[in-house]
Amino acid sequence: MTSQKISDSPIIFGCMMIGGSFDDSTLTAETIKRGRDAIDAALECGLNFFDHANIYCWGKSEEVFGRFLAENQGLRENLIIQSKCGICLANQPESGWPGRFDLSYDHILESVDGTLARLQTDYLDILLLHRPDPLVEPEEVAEAFDLLHRSGKVRDFGVSNHSPAQIELLQAYVDQPLTVNQIEYNPLHAVLHDAAIHVNMRRPQYGNPGEGIIEYCRLHGITLQAWSALAKGLLSGTHLAPDTEPRIVEAAKMVAKFAKERDVSPEAIVIAWILRHPAEIMPVIGTTHPGRIKAACEATKIELSRVEWYQIYTAAMGHSVP
């Protein structure tokens, strides 16, 4: 990453749900307090990297964070604040319009201005393009990035959920280096190397267009960030319904075993599994529960062995490696 700041922790706090709900409801005092408590817990754990997107809780999450910044003058310069743009929700701005992606010049600039206003800050440390847009015009992205960079509104740029070819296409036009690719990654969603280990198999069980993302990003110095790092709590033993897939049950049991042996939380083991990867993937933890935030941060004190990593991985796949 080219940002002038360096994160104090390999873990990022994801602010998706601090706004309370994905609708046009008004922010309540209770929601604001719950969001502030989550931010405080992250800061107490030493996290200084905060992840946003303009659509999170329809902008309310950025607004909650902006109010927090306004009430804590002087804190901004110690933080890395990242946001995303490019997703347009259904029925916005007009009823009947579909959910869609928009990486046009106008939409990028309008989105950033809205984000900065809600966050009550003059600049973003990093702006990510949230999803690939089939109608993207790379020249428009380049023009928008140039203006945002020259104006000081955005210091660094990256993408989210992009394949190597999609990154190459953008980078061929964009002058600023794309420093980040945020992807879904956890033991239950490890398709990026599920495909890799089935190379040259007669009937590969996995095949996905994202194959090679991890290797590509490592080769090009692009920091990988993992969204849904806690797998929605499934591997922490929560929300397991009677009809839960056997592989998920077995993986949760393996996580619980290692947590008990180390006297840490299951959340810490799940995050430690991500941190064990040599690509130095940065997990984004999105829970708003202060206790779970602190539990997940225990991962920085743990290093899983290669054997333990594969025990969780193969349990989560539901079968051994080839």
Residue 242 preceded by cis peptide, ω within 30: no
- Both tokens of 100, joined, read 């869609």
Residue 119: count other Cβ atoms within 10 Å of its Cβ: 27
Inter-residue long-range contacts of 305-314, CB under 8 Å, 24+ positions, other chains counted: 308/258, 309/273, 309/276, 311/254, 312/187, 312/251, 312/254, 312/255, 312/258, 312/269, 312/273, 313/187, 313/190, 313/273
Given the residues 56, 185, 216, 313, the one annotated as active site: 56
**C-alpha span between 192 and 160 (Å, rounded):** 14
What angle in degrees, to the nearest 10, is found between the helix axes of 138-151 and 105-119?
A: 30
- Coil/strand/helix, residue 105: helix
Known catalytic residue at 105: no
Q: Tokens 């239950």: give the residue.
A: 188
Q: Which two tokens stand for residue 71?
A: 């009430």
Q: What positions carry a catalytic annotation?
A: 56
